[in-house]
Amino acid sequence: MPSWLILILVGVALVILGVATEIGQFLVWIGVIVLVASLILGLVGRRRT
């Protein structure tokens, strides 16, 4: 399971449960940032080859 997916799932679970909602939102955003960065790096890597 990719790290970005774990971060998003944990963040969403925290937000839904109402426990540490700010931390949950932060984890969701970090997960999205990691996902976007990995997609960009993957596309850049494909273009170079």
- pLDDT confidence of 46, banded at 50, 70, 90? confident
> Could you tell me if residue 2 is left (phi over 0), alpha (psi between -120 and 50 degrees) or otherwise beta?
beta
- Asked if residue 33 has pLDDT above 80, the reply is yes
Is the Cβ–Cβ distance between 14 and 24 less than 8 Å? Answer: yes
Residue 6 tokens, joined: 């774990």
d(Cα 22, Cα 35) in Å, to the nearest integer?
Answer: 20
Quick check: 28 and 22 in contact, CB under 8 A? Answer: no
Mean pLDDT, range 29-48, rounded to an integer = 88
What is the distance between the alpha carbons of residues 20 and 11, in angstroms, rounded to a whole number? 9
